[in-house]
Amino acid sequence: MRKFLTVVIVLPLLVLLVVFAVANRHFVTVSFDPFNAADPALAVSMPLFALIIAVAILGVIAGGCATWLGQRRWRRAARRHLADAEAARAQVAELSASLRANQGAAQSLVPTARLFGPYGRDKQDAAL
């Protein structure tokens, strides 16, 4: 199913890209010299479709970097929460181990008779 969806989405985009490239094959000169337009010191001549595709790729990369930098606060908070959760798990494991170790000694001190009748205790730990 995934390959089918990929073909359904990618194939039309590929066809559009090829049609765009064939329609815009003429060369353009891109100048990076704002002071001398007649004879630029730094200029590149390339097909128009290559220029537009290159600018689109650079825009996607710049947008991805901006988003990644903008999410820095959330990644830092996630790392902090993960460290807190791991510390809490370690503390629970340590307390459980000490409770099990002390439980064997405490059971010998607790009488086996029921102290509060057949009903036990309620939610507030009061005798019923």
What would the pLDDT profile of 79-114 be if each residue is shown by its tens digit?
999 999 999 999 999 999 999 888 866 565 555 555
pLDDT band at 32 (very low <50, low <70, confident <90, very high): confident
In a domain, 35, yes or no: yes
Q: Is residue 104 part of a domain?
A: no
Q: What pTM, to 2 d.p., does this model score?
A: 0.56
Residue 86 lies in a domain: no
Instruction: Evaluate whether residue 30 is within a structural domain.
Output: yes
- Token reading at 22: 């064939």
* Within-domain flag for 50: yes
DSSP designation for 127: B
Residue 63, domain member (yes or no)? no
Instruction: Give the percent of the chain with pLDDT over 70.
Output: 82
Determine, yes or no, domain membership for 52.
yes
SS3 10: helix
Give CA–CA dist 120/69, Å, rounded.
Answer: 58
Distance CA 97, CA 26 (A): 76
12 is in which domain, residue-wise? Answer: 2-57
- Tell me if 125 is assigned to some domain: no
**Total structural domains within the chain:** 1
- pLDDT score, position 2: 84
